[in-house]
C-alpha cells in the first residue's frame, strides 16, 4: 500500500506547487505563491523553480515571517497532497531556486473529497450556437461538482432566468488555446455592486476532472505571466535533478 510520501515521490516534475504562509493559529493566510517542482532528494528536500515574476525581496520575507508554510500539489493520480514545509535554502544564480523540506504530516486526499481549489483563468459563458458570449468573466475556483465563475456588469436576464440553464463554458487558457465544456447554472449570487458569482455544474469523469484541474492550475494568470516573461535556459534534465 502506497503512503502519501510515495505518491509525492512518484508524482513527477514540472507540476505546480502552491506554498501558503499562515501567520497565526486561525490559519489566516499572509501570502500564497506558486512554484514549479523540478527535483527532489527524498526524504530531505524538494527543489522548486521560482517564476520570474516573483522577486526574492517579496517572496523570502513573506515565507520566513510566516508561522507555518503549507504546501499543496496534485499527484499523478489526481490526489491533492498537503503538508507542512520549511525553507532549507534559496539560490539566485544561475536560476532562482527554492529548496524546501520534505513535507511533514503529509496527507493525500482524493480530489472529489477536497474543498474548492483556487484558480484564476479567463472564461466565457455562451449560449449554444449563439454568435456572442453571454458573459465574460473569470473562473475563480473548481470543485468536484463544478466551478465558481465571477463576472461584472449587468446580467443579460433576471437571476432566476439563469438558473438551470444549459450553457457552454469556454475556458481561455491563452490567446491561442481554449477548451469548451457543457455546464448548468446552479447558483447566481450578487457579491457586490454589479459583481456576480455564478455556480456552474459539470459532468466529468474522474480522469477528465483530474486533467482539467492540472490544465487550470498550469494556466492560471500568475503562471501565464511566467510563460510570457523571459526565463533563463536550463540544460539540466529532470533526471539529473533527481539527486
Host H or E run for residue 41: strand 29-41
CA distance linking residue 209 with residue 217, whole number of Å: 12
Same domain, 105 and 8: yes
Q: Is residue 59 part of a domain?
A: yes
Identify the pLDDT of residue 1. Answer: 47
Say if 58 falls within a structural domain: yes
Q: Which three cell numbers, joined as nine digits, stand for 238? A: 529532470
The reply to whether 71 falls in a domain is: yes
pLDDT under 70: residue ranges of the chain = 1-13, 24-30, 76-78, 110-115, 222-243
Check whether residue 172 and residue 103 sit in a common domain: no
d(CA 107, CA 114): 12
Q: Residue 158 belongs to a domain with what CATH number? A: 2.40.10.220
pLDDT tens, 103-128?
A: 888 887 765 445 577 888 999 999 98
172 plus 217 within the same structural domain: yes
SS3 (DSSP) at 140: strand
Contacts of 7 (CB under 8 A, 6+ apart): 75, 76, 77, 79, 81, 108
Give the distance from CA 28 to its chain's centroid: 19
pLDDT computed for residue 175 by the predictor: 82
Looking at the fold, whether 66 and 156 belong to one and the same domain comes out as no
Identify whether residues 44 and 90 lie together within a single domain.
Answer: yes
Whether residue 169 sits in one domain with residue 76: no
Specify the CATH number for the domain of residue 67: 2.30.110.10
Name the pTM for this structure: 0.51
The grid coordinates listed for 96 are 532562482
Cβ atoms of 128 and 168 within 8 Å: the answer is yes
Alpha-carbon torsion (196, 188, 111, 84), positive or negative: positive
130 and 106 fall within a common domain: no
Report how far residue 81's alpha carbon sits from residue 157's, in angstroms, rounded to the nearest whole number.
41
Q: What is the rounded CA–CA span in Å between residue 7 and residue 77?
A: 8
User: Is the domain of 106 the same as that of 155?
Assistant: no
Asked if residue 8 is part of any domain, the answer here is yes
For residue 30, is it within any domain? yes
Could you read off the pLDDT of 184-228 as tens digits, one per residue?
998 888 877 888 999 999 988 888 888 888 888 888 876 656 555
CA distances 240 to 8, 40, 59, Å, are 18, 10, 26
60 lies in some domain: yes
12 is in which domain, residue-wise? Answer: 4-111
Q: How many domains does the chain have?
A: 2
DSSP 3-state of 138:
strand
Q: What is the pLDDT of residue 149?
A: 94
- CB-based burial label for 229 (10 Å; 0-12, 13-18, 19+): exposed
Same domain, 98 and 169: no
- Phi/psi of residue 214, nearest 5 degrees: -60, -45
Q: Are residues 178 and 126 in the same domain?
A: yes
Say whether 214 sits in a helix, a strand or coil: helix
Amino acid at each position: 500500500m502506497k503512503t502519501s510520501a510515495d505518491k509525492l515521490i512518484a508524482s513527477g516534475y514540472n507540476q505546480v506547487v502552491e506554498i501558503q504562509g499562515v501567520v497565526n493559529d486561525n490559519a489566516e493566510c499572509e501570502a500564497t505563491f506558486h512554484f514549479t517542482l523540478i527535483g527532489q532528494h527524498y526524504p530531505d528536500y524538494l527543489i522548486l523553480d521560482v517564476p520570474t515574476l516573483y522577486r526574492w525581496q517579496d517572496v523570502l520575507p513573506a515565507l520566513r515571517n510566516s508561522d507555518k508554510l503549507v504546501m499543496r500539489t496534485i499527484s499523478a493520480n489526481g490526489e491533492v497532497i498537503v503538508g507542512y514545509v520549511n525553507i532549507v535554502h534559496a539560490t539566485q544564480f544561475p536560476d532562482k531556486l527554492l529548496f524546501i523540506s520534505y513535507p511533514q504530516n503529509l496527507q493525500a486526499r482524493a480530489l472529489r473529497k477536497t474543498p474548492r481549489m483556487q484558480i484564476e483563468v479567463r472564461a466565457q459563458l455562451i449560449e449554444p450556437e449563439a454568435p456572442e458570449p453571454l458573459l465574460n468573466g473569470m473562473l475563480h475556483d473548481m470543485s468536484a461538482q463544478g466551478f465558481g465563475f465571477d463576472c461584472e456588469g449587468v446580467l443579460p436576464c433576471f437571476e432566476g432566468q439563469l438558473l438551470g440553464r444549459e450553457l457552454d463554458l469556454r475556458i481561455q487558457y491563452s490567446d491561442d488555446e481554449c477548451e469548451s465544456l457543457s455546464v448548468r447554472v446552479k447558483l447566481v449570487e450578487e457579491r457586490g455592486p454589479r459583481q456576480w458569482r455564478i455556480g456552474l455544474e459539470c459532468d466529468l469523469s474522474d480522469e477528465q476532472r483530474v486533467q482539467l484541474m492540472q490544465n487550470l492550475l498550469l494556466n492560471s494568470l500568475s503562471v501565464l505571466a511566467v510563460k510570457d516573461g523571459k526565463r533563463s535556459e536550463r540544460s539540466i534534465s529532470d533526471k539529473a535533478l533527481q539527486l
